[in-house]
Amino acid sequence: MPKIKAGVIVFPGSNCDRDAGFALEKIGFDYDYIWHDFEKVLDYDFLFLPGGFSYGDYLRAGALAKFSPVMKNVEKFIENERGLVLGVCNGFQILTESGILKGALSQNEKMKFICDDVDVEIKNRKSPFTKYIEKETLEIPIAHMDGNFKIEEKDYKELKNNDQIVFEYKDNPNGSYKNIAGIMNDKKNVLGMMPHPERNAVKLLGNGDGASILLSIRRFLENE
């Protein structure tokens, strides 16, 4: 069976792109790095928007990256349901700034950078990103200053009613509304999350829980 083809989008200031590539290779993906000025059709099964500080987080985290040429093609990729998209940390911020995902990421409640391992509960077990995960709770690293997820109550109700909330923190580290750690779009082919699964994808780096998300993505793309 051919490997699933993944693309890691790299913006000026991305700093988790190599972590993403390392994890994808361990999970069995073929992958390419895609520079932010790429303007052609994105011929991939899976796109990974990594963490970091795109454009130095000037203005707001993710606010400038949404204007990168590659993002027009990311939006077409999502619209045409060509595959799955995962945005982690700064990738999540870019997806909200682009309007692909609802809500916004603001400064942590205690106004401090947080670097820690956190427990997240899986709230939607039928999504492509979690369908093949056996555990109910995952331990995954976080590393962010602007991870406080904000959303209007009406939009939160919409997310909840449509099963678009994928992960919630067990012990909310940053003040995120209703403990939200990760959400999907309405098509359920895009996931944004603040925790970093790629940083805990092999047991040498922890318990390997992050691998289960990437494995679920791979198995979904192979089987469905």
Q: What are the catalytic residues?
A: 89, 196, 198
Q: Residue 61 is encoded by which pair of tokens?
A: 């985290």
DSSP per-residue codes, 196-213: -GGGGSSGGGSS-THHHH
CB 60 within 8 A of CB 97: yes
- Residues pairing with 9 in the sheet: 34
Q: Which residues contact 172 (CB under 8 A, 6 or more apart)?
A: 179
Q: Which residues contact 61 (CB under 8 A, 6 or more apart)?
A: 53, 54, 90, 93, 97, 105, 145, 146
